[in-house]
Amino acid sequence: MTTDVMTRPAVLILLGPPGAGKGTQARMLEESFGLVQLSTGDLLRAAVAAGTEAGKAAKSVMESGGLVSDEIVIAILRDRLAEPDCAKGVILDGFPRTAVQAEALDALLSETGQKINAAISLEVDDDAMVTRVAGRYTCAGCGEGYHDTFKQPQKAGTCDKCGSTEMKRRADDNAETVASRLAAYHEQTAPLITYYGDKGVLQKIDAMGQIDEVANGLAAIVKTAAP
């Protein structure tokens, strides 16, 4: 059974290379619009930490900067999309990343009569991405993201959101792995810009500005694409 077009939950996709700001912006959109951030990177890191079969298979691939198999990622995404909170609408952060994943998403959404409201490409320069990724850290308590230079907590070492003093850095945030992740993006994910352009849902945004400037531009797109 399909729902009426006016009541369908929004589906937004954020495309962009490592460090483009997908996670940062998805969290801000989640707060502003009441949508749910679905990060396949976060879901995979949780699977690795939990030691599931999928996590065991993904671990070494993620450490090398390559892409985890479509089969594993699609299964993880499918399960997460079926959870009740996703009825509020979702922001896909880091998915799809290959043509196979994009087609699988189309098939999943068609089962529920949903459509993609917008696929938004965060346009950035590769050179700046290494600096962004190398300086990134997150709160171990709530996952809020920070940066050594670009986004520091108000009180050094203390999360603005939850007050935790435990911060962590990702194992794959080193220059060598970032280079592999950038290469994977250009080879396998960037072609999706054309895929969504052909579907008429592509939007592009300059993501080289400050975090709040990019957020304002994205909010304007979301208000139009998912009113």
In angstroms, what is the minimal distance from the CB of 115 to ligand AP5? Answer: 20
Tokens matching residue 104: 């699988």
Of 6, 34, 212, 21, the closest CA to residue 117 belongs to: 6
Region 143-162 residues binding ligand AP5, contact defined as CB under 6 A: 145-147, 150-151
Which residues contact residue 164 at a Cβ distance below 8 angstroms, ignoring those fewer than 6 apart?
Answer: 139, 140, 141, 142, 158
Residue closer to ligand AP5 (CB basis): 114 or 189: 189
Please give the Cα distance from 76 to 93 (Å, whole number): 13
Strand-pair partners of 37: 91
Strand-pair partners of 90: 11, 36
Please give the Cα distance from 215 to 186 (Å, whole number): 24
Site string for ligand AP5, 31-70 (x = CB under 6 A): --------xxx--x----------------xx--xxxx--
Name the DSSP letter for residue 9.
P
Candidates 47-55, 104-112, 157-165, 210-218: pick the segment binding ligand AP5 (CB under 6 A).
Answer: 210-218
In angstroms, what is the minimal distance from the CB of 198 to ligand AP5? Answer: 20
Region 75-134 residues binding ligand AP5, contact defined as CB under 6 A: 94-95, 97, 101, 132-133
Return the ∠ at Cα 119 (arms to 115 and 125), rounded to 5°: 170
In angstroms, what is the minimal distance from the CB of 173 to ligand AP5? Answer: 7
In angstroms, what is the minimal distance from the CB of 23 to ligand AP5? Answer: 3
Residue closer to ligand AP5 (CB basis): 83 or 206: 206
Q: In degrees rounded to 5, what are phi and psi of residue 219?
A: -60, -40
Which positions lie near ligand AP5, rule CB under 6 A? 16, 18-24, 39-41, 44, 61-62, 65-68, 73, 94-95, 97, 101, 132-133, 135-136, 145-147, 150-151, 181, 207, 210-211, 214
